Structure 1
Amino acid sequence: MPEDKQSSVPISAGAASYTAPTPVNTPLNAAPISRGFSHPNVPDISEDESEQQQGHDLMNKLQNLNIRPSGIVEVLPAPVARRVEGLKGVHADYCKIEHELKREMLELEKKYLLKFTPIFERRKAILLGDSEPTPEEITAGEAVSEKDDPEAAAAAKQEREDAEKNLSDEDKAIKGIPHFWLTVLRNHDGLSDLITEKDEAALEYLTDIRLVYLSQDTPGFKLIFDFAPNPYFENETLEKSYHYQDELGDTGDYIYDRAVGSEIKWKEEKDLTKAVEIKKQRNKTTNRTRLIRRSHSVPSFFNFFSPPAQPTAEQIENGEVDEDLLEELDEKLELDYQIGEDLKERIIPRAIDYFTGKAIEFDIAAIEDDDDYEDMEDDDFDE
């Protein structure tokens, strides 16, 4: 499948590369360095008065600094500055081991994906109606429902058993679980905003979403969307690959490099990412009229497979790209990578929870938890 829709992280002034927010490389929070700590105000019992005074002088210098990356080191006495450089060397040894850990954890994710795959294949078989769930699988599912809400589970089971006694021919003819993946995507808060009414008609043909990791030489992952034959495009699969940079970042995290999406082979007049305007023009000389068709881009879920175009570093350095445009591009790329991660880490493994709505409760709880905190201004750290 050709992949020629690409994007990579912008190298805009002051903007850092995006860290891939996977469970193997992302801390729970980035706490301010001052959280939980205060400046020492009791000297060590071994300090004499001279040492105390030197320490106080140094502390006063540090406290009066407008902190910047090199600000502290610039005011340190030479012996202390030398020790700081030594600590950097010690930390470099830590980083080497940390990088090794992160790489091994990625390999562990790949290993366990192989164990998950048969489960995902079993899920697909039931969704498509190729197989019915076994009595054991149904019993296990009922146990999960009962654990979540015993009363609701008992009522739902009784209602289902009563309904099965009087099934209509139409109900008996239903195969699998229709529109499963469309419902899953609509029940994700972020993705639901991207899906238009026209997109829904095409996404009804979505039969599976799969995850594969890229090769050892190319760290990253690929999302594969399988479609049944449909009136919208020729592709049987649409793919989106997320590539990490070869080297880990300074914090030991994987850094996004670029995203690559499939080219969608739209059928005639079925492109959901374009709208066509038809205008009538009249020739001033002959008075004849003609119809002009002009297309323009419109919001669509399927724009996901066409990542934002990335300007070159040379274009940015030469000022050929407007700063506002760069900022807008940064936001689009960040959203694109977040969607990819949510599909990988949440939607694919927990699809049934998004279908039933159970996952929505967890998402809302997470949002409410985030709302308990507010961003701090730079001035807040100077107080």
Structure 2
Amino acid sequence: MTNTVDIGKNKNEDLTAPTPQNTPLSNAPIGREPLSRPTVQTIGEEDDDEDDDEGAPAAAGVPGLPSAAIQGMIQDKLNGLVGRSSGYIESLPDEVRRRVEGLKGLNVEHQKIEAEFQREILALEKKFAEKYAPLYDRRKEIILGQLEPTAAEVESGEAVDREEDAEDDEEDEEEDEEEEREEPRSLANISIRTDAPKGIPEFWLTALKNHVALSEVITERDEGALKHLIDVRLRYLDTPSNAGNGQEQQGFQLDFVFAPNEHFSNTTLTKTYFYSNQVGFSGDLVYDHAEGAAIDWKSPEANLTHRVETKKQRNKNTNETRTVKRLVPTESFFNFFSPPKPPTDDDEEDDEELDAIEERLELDYQIGEDLKDRIIPHAVDFFTGKALHYENPDEWDEDDYGDDDYDEDDDEDDDEAPPRGGARQDPQECKQQ
């Protein structure tokens, strides 16, 4: 059994993105809105209560059976139909079925061209990665305090801020009519104090915590090590394939560079993602598997992926006690470097275990893709929290809904009902030390 996941260039539809708080964990078999409008007459309001009470048992279908159970039965039935033929194709005349098979043959040639197209895109990404490299080098030097940004670079950044502020002012023009905002002071030509913090403290820790999925796996213990993270880099693979066909193994490697710290002796932790030589149904590249670096922990207590559990044992004969320590796995960002293994045909996991592995694989691939395409290129936007405005746009704007849109009878229900949108995540602030 192989495990492959399509990779979209802009938005991966097949990967599991970080789940907002208001998103159902599974696809509902029946939507809340009907597929078509009812054709029966509208029932008067005076009959609503009576009809609702009388129609409840009929709607349930089976007396005494909860609606959740019925929904589960429907879902199981629908799942059983997936992949089954309706019999329509088999009922077609041989001549028509022959033409259908011919179209399948054309599709084989189409897939070959799609694979070539994806290889060309990957080659283009590698070409421009070389152009980005000097910018990333300079970014690292500024973050570490080895160099200061030029006045021109600062002015360019401030110009972007002014453009964004102008857009915000247009949206809030009515509210801010009577308020006058002071023009922010330019920082382009200020004198750098000798006692000022060096570089940008905790830059990468803050940037990673402002990513929705990563913020869920970074623990307080992890933060102690991630404060020493000084750079995250991307490198594309150009290694021979193990298939022995002369082709290169396509993929990319993420390098996490650390300053010396008390947790592990590695200076660089790597995570490598390998692409399959095939393309997915949508014509995108497909992940094959991922590999992570072994972390050289300085001690069992320093291992952030485990916690030390201490127990005392008493000898029944001698009444002596001894202390036993054992390592217990725990959640940690550094589990990212021990990716889940795709199941094989010889594995005998049950359906629940397979589903859990699939979910872990999809999340792992999604985080790797986000690091490659979003966090590394736009690290400063994740540091400032600007990226959160694109990750979690407000679904409900108070200005879009007036008081007339709600009936008085709904007020009590609205107060008791849970919020429709997920809680907006506050950007992590830079901690100056």
TM-score under structure 2 normalisation?
0.66
SS at match of 2:308: strand
Q: Aligned match of 2:7 in 5, 20, 30?
A: 20
Structure 1 residue 26 displacement after superposition: 6.9
Structure 1 residue 73 displacement after superposition: 2.0
Partner of 2:332: 300
Which digits, 9 at most, give the CA deviation of each residue in 1:251-294, with x for residues without a partner?
43221111100000011120011111111111111111100101
Return the letter of the residue paired with 2:273.
Answer: Y
Flag as ranges the 4+ runs of structure 1 deviating above 6 A: 24-28, 151-154
Q: Report 1:97-246 matches (<5 A).
A: 97-150=113-166, 155=182, 157-158=184-185, 170=195, 172=196, 174-215=197-238, 217-246=248-277
In 2, Cα distance between equivalents of 1:68 and 1:245? 27
Which digits, 9 at most, give the CA deviation of each residue in 1:196-225, with x for residues without a partner?
011111100000100011116111111000
Contact map agreement 1:218 1:243 (CA 8 A) in 2: yes
Return the letter of the residue paired with 1:139.
Answer: E
Report 1 or 2 for greater relative contact order, CA contacts < 8 Å, sequence distance ≥ 6: 1
Structure 1 residue 249 displacement after superposition: 3.3
Return the letter of the residue paired with 2:7.
Answer: A
TM-score under structure 1 normalisation?
0.75
SS at match of 2:346: helix
SS at match of 2:232: strand
Return the letter of the residue paired with 1:92.
Answer: V
CA 1:68–1:359: 2 relative to 1, 3 Å: same
Determine whether 1:364 maps to 2:387.
no
CA 1:110–1:159: 2 relative to 1, 3 Å: closer
Contact map agreement 2:342 2:361 (CA 8 A) in 1: no
Contact map agreement 1:22 1:341 (CA 8 A) in 2: no
Give percent identity, aligned residues only.
49
Q: Which has the higher helix share?
A: 1
Structure 1 residue 139 displacement after superposition: 0.8
CA 1:128–1:66: 2 relative to 1, 3 Å: closer
SS at match of 1:231: coil
Unaligned runs of 5+ in 2: 16-80, 170-180, 240-247, 397-419, 422-433
Structure 1 residue 326 displacement after superposition: 1.2
In 2, Cα distance between equivalents of 1:225 and 1:358? 23
Determine whether 1:336 maps to 2:364.
yes
CA 1:81–1:66: 2 relative to 1, 3 Å: farther
Cα RMSD after superposing both structures? 3.0
Determine whether 1:87 maps to 2:103.
yes
In 2, Cα distance between equivalents of 1:27 and 1:276? 38
Partner of 2:416: none
Q: Aligned match of 2:313 in 281, 299, 302?
A: 281
Partner of 1:327: 355
Q: Aligned match of 1:312 in 344, 351, 361?
A: 344
Structure 1 residue 17 displacement after superposition: 2.4
